Amino acid sequence: MSFLVTNQHRPNGRSPAKGISSLSGAIVLSALLAGCAALPTASVNVDADRTITADVQSRLAQHGNLEQLNVQTVNGVVYLRGSVINELEREGAETTALATPHVARVVNTISIDNG
């Protein structure tokens, strides 16, 4: 004797494959949204943020390899991106940004590229 199980005979009417597919989609979407949350796009005071960005870039330019870093400011929070050759440069970039007037905090995502 054999039994045929269809969606009509399941209590919730859903296939297990659909549940797994939905879960996989939710996990992927969560991962994508987490990356987006790292850098807000709406600034309350665009002019102040531009000034902070320019000041941080100017200060980083005085430190050789740090001038190539990407600097963005949103609501006084400075985001540092790019790569440097060692931890000392990474920490130096963050310290330099934090020492800049009107910087509320620094999000440092600088990677170390040993070449």
**pLDDT tens digits, 33-65:** 444 445 566 778 999 999 999 999 999 999 888
* Cβ neighbourhood burial of 106 (10 Å; 0-12, 13-18, 19+): buried
Residue 68 lies inside a defined structural domain of this protein: yes
Whole-number pLDDT of residue 49: 97
Residues 66 and 16 in one domain: no
Residue 56 lies in a domain: yes
Q: Are residues 30 and 52 in the same domain?
A: no
Which two three-digit tokens encode residue 37?
């949350």
Could you tell me if residue 1 is inside a domain? Answer: no
Residue 10 contacts residue 41 (beta carbons within 8 Å):
no
Examine the pLDDT at 105 and tell me if it is beyond 80: yes
- Give the CATH number, domain containing residue 56: 3.30.1340.30
Residue range 5-37, pLDDT digits in tens? 444 444 555 555 555 455 455 454 444 444 444
Q: Which domain holds residue 71?
A: 46-112
Could you tell me if 50 and 106 lie in one domain?
yes
Is the CB of residue 96 less than 8 Å from the CB of residue 64?
no
Q: Provide the number of structural domains found in the chain.
A: 2
